[in-house]
Amino acid sequence: MNDKTIWITGGSTGIGRALALKFANNGWNVAVSARRENLLRELEKSNQNIFPYPLDVTNKENCSEVFQNIIAKFKNIDISFFSTGTWDPKKEKDIDVEQIENVMKVNFFGTLNCIKSVEEYYRTRGSGHISIVSSIAGYRGLPNSTGYGPSKSALNNLAESLYFDFKRYGVRVSLISPGFIKTPMTDKNDFKMPFLKTVDYAAEKIFEGLTKTNQFEIHFPKQLTLILKFLKILPNSWYLSLVGKLTKYQKR
């Protein structure tokens, strides 16, 4: 068995799946979780270093149980990569409270459930790495983003808070902020996505950031993220006016 192990949630499709293959191809043990067990089984067949652990991140007990099963098999988890997410653009254009609650339940509280399941392990171990997948949508408020953007903004704040809390135990916390990556989730978008990249591109950037750097935020592609980081520091009046003009925001 290999020496290094990573646990990836949201691993049945998109960035999570591509990253699972990237780590497995580089000799890591990859414990991969998602709700759709059939997709996990297909992924398992593609590489002998991939091991499926079906999981519903909204179930706290299930998160704890799956984590214990992974520890029992591999003894150690060097990186926990939490990337579960959901998005329905058609329901984001209005204040759909039930939809927003579901997005927060999966994107924010689902991630939090996973972090809670590994908290004691990492603090006791005194080393390791927890990585949280957010989005550029969490940088500032955007039109037609009543649930997804706020859920990612909450993850940004959470990651910063946990950075301080875990650093005292020697545990690294990082934040992943992808731009537009072609996945089944972004395929739902009905607008042109600037600097759209592949999942393999994202997996390469994340792998390098997790294994070859010690940076807090891993963001890409830089052509887009650096522009958005500049927008983050603009005064509210400038930002709201600029984004309003760029998106031609009008009353519906």
243: in domain: no
Distance CA 169, CA 132 (A): 18
Q: Range of 181's domain? A: 5-227
Mean pLDDT, the chain, whole residue set = 93
91: in domain: yes
141 and 149 in contact (C-beta within 8 Å)?
yes
| Span 97-134, pLDDT tens digits | 999 999 999 999 999 999 999 999 999 999 999 999 99
41 or 85: which carries more pLDDT confidence? 41
Output DSSP code: residue 197: B
| Span 171-192, pLDDT tens digits | 999 999 999 998 877 777 777 7
89 or 118: which carries more pLDDT confidence? 118
57 and 119 in contact (C-beta within 8 Å)?
no
241: in domain: no
**What are the strands of the beta sheet with 129-133, ordered from one edge?**
50-52, 29-33, 5-9, 79-82, 129-133, 172-178, 217-220
Could you write out the DSSP letters of every residue in 54-117? Answer: ---TT-HHHHHHHHHHHHHHHS--SEEEE------GGGTTTT-HHHHHHHIIIIIIHHHHHHHH
Mean pLDDT, residues 44-65: 97
User: How many angstroms separate the most distant Cα atoms in the chain?
Assistant: 59
The predicted pLDDT at position 1 comes to: 63
Distance CA 175, CA 59 (A): 23
Q: Is the pTM of this model over 0.75?
A: yes
Per the structure, the count of domains in the chain is 1
24: in domain: yes
Q: Assign residue 141 a region (left: φ > 0; alpha: ψ between -120 and 50; beta: otherwise).
A: beta
Domain at 158, CATH number = 3.40.50.720
251: in domain: no
232: in domain: no
The predicted pLDDT at position 247 comes to: 73
250: in domain: no
